[in-house]
Chains A and B, each alone.
Chain A
Amino acid sequence: MIEVVRPGPLTTVQDLGRPGLAALGVGRSGAADRRSAALANRLVGNLDGAAVLETTFGGLVLRFRQVARVVVTGAPCPIRRGSRGEAMNAPFTVWPGEELTLGAPTSGLRTYLAVRGGIGVDKVLESRSTDLLAGLGPAALSEGDVLPIGTDECGPLPSVEVAPVPDPAGFALTVRVMPGPRDDWFTPEALKTFSTATYEVTSESNRVGVRLTGPALERSREGELLSEGMVPGAIQVPPSGLPLVFLADHPVTGGYPVIGVVLTDDLPVMAQARPGQTVSFRLVPADLPAAA
């Protein structure tokens, strides 16, 4: 068992989420930075679907009631086990009675903690993820919560001592974007602005999406789009003209035109973007044969 001494600003349990249920109004959810979560699981020998803790801006203090093999990945932060320091991306053992403290990250936003065996909270619709928008899964952690360590099937412990991972970029971020599906709702100037301007991440951002401020993107047509299905990475442009990039807990459908979609490989960069950081979008060609 793991006791939550302090949850920090926001800590949730996350796994790979709930794929395949969007037609029932259930989004996928899951870890916002899936790459860091997957790395954490690998480093303690968990399978990909094991649940980890996702903590935003650090400040998490846990007390372990049993021995556990753990690792911390994602946004790099000071790690204290009892009175000792530990390193990022390097598995270590926590002994019963010890406190583990994750401090504020020096870059990036979301830090992941994996425990061998997984976090063993009950599943809702086959997943342990907290979907903050849909209100599914376990509540965000609060002080005094006790989390069971799971008994998920594990692989062998890897022999890696430290995984070589670059830290999230400290300042100017660039992500690749495939235009569409509704880039034709925007003026040519807006598309040019979108691919050349620099946007700043605002503090309104959360697991639903990253809100940006910068030059407004002008539409080329009036009227409302009927709601349509959304994906993580979709860049919606509401009437304000300021883009919003969807993350893990995005709504299943949305009614504002999507000018482009961040490539899946670059989504972890968006998930680690912190308020005040700048983002620019580099367009990559949509490789679909023109018309079908």
Chain B
Amino acid sequence: MNIRRCGDQALLVDVGDTGGIDAVLGLYSALSDPRPDGVTELVPAARTLLVRFDPAVIGAGELAELLAGTEPVPAQAMRGELVEIPVYYDGADLAEVGKHTGLGADGVVEMHTAAEYTVAFGGFAPGFGYLTGLHPKLHLPRRATPRTHVPAGAVAIAGEFTGIYPRSSPGGWQLVGRTEVPLWDPARRPPALLRPGTRIRFREVR
């Protein structure tokens, strides 16, 4: 674990490749409920946790010591809420993904619905979650040319992640299906259905 300065009001904890996403989530869980005094924001990402703080409450050195001494919650103890997402597997890239992986469209659906996923982090748009747990056979690059319009609810894969577009936006992920489950509602508390640590299963509907 490597702690770096990120301006005068944040530290960036880099867990490195050995720790990976589990270590980030473990640290995020250990710090988020409740947040230590003076910590204003926690931003988990693939290998890092950004910790923003109020220097009037806690100093950078003191916070660095606290972070270095924080025991990450072990992955198996971090079983967040399980959400089932019904999906129509009729995405524009499904046939292509089936061809590319050699699994065929049905094989892709079978593999995508077989796994349990965990929201590792957000960031692309309000309510978007990067889900880990995708079978390595489905690890595919993004599309060479991103689409200018991906509809809300599109279920997609890219690299080691799968995810759902919470609203229509441009996007370069491979579209395999769509869901009607509302992922983002500013009037709901919390507004995002998928939050770091939430577990997900996809179920095929026709």
Contact = CB atoms under 8 A, between A and B. Distances in A.
Interface in B173-200: 186, 190-192, 195-196
B81 to A, nearest CB: 14
Interface residues of B, number: 48
B155 interface: no
Given A23-B121, A252-B123, A136 B186 contact: yes
A165 interface: no
Interface stretch (B58-66, B95-103, B145-153): B58-66
Given A180-B5, A252-B123, A228 B47 contact: yes
B45 A228 contact: yes
A24 B127 contact: yes
A280 B66 CA distance: 35
A23 B125 contact: no
Interface stretch (A81-89, A197-205, A257-265): A257-265
A253 B121 contact: yes
B12 interface: yes
B110 interface: no
Interface in B37-68: 40-50, 52, 60-61, 64-65, 67-68
Interface string B149-183: 00000000000000000010000000000000000
A128 B36 CA distance: 27
A48 to B, nearest CB: 14
B45 to A, nearest CB: 4
B50 A25 contact: no
Interface string B1-24: 111111111111010000000000
A169 interface: no
The secondary-structure label for the interface of chain B is: mixed
Given A226-B45, A229-B43, A292-B65, A134 B4 contact: no
B126 interface: yes
Contacts of B28: 23
B2 to A, nearest CB: 8
A288 B5 contact: yes
Contact of A288 (B1, B9, B11): B11
A231 interface: yes
Nearest to B123: A253
A113 B67 CA distance: 41
Nearest to B32: A23
Contact of A178 (B3, B7, B14): B7
B87 to A, nearest CB: 21
A234 interface: yes
A181 B14 CA distance: 10
A125 interface: yes
A130 to B, nearest CB: 13
B6 A25 contact: no
Contact of A228 (B8, B48, B52, B125): B48
Contacts of B2: 291
Query: Taking each of B7, B41, B50, which has the highest tally of chain A beta carbons within 10 Å of its own beta carbon?
Result: B7
B126 A181 contact: no
Nearest to A262: B7
Contact of A25 (B46, B48, B52, B128): B128
17 contacts: A19-B40, A22-B50, A23-B44, A23-B122, A25-B122, A25-B127, A136-B186, A178-B5, A180-B4, A180-B6, A229-B43, A229-B49, A230-B43, A234-B6, A253-B43, A253-B124, A264-B8
Given A23-B28, A182-B4, 7 more contacts: A26-B191, A28-B41, A178-B5, A226-B48, A231-B52, A234-B6, A251-B123
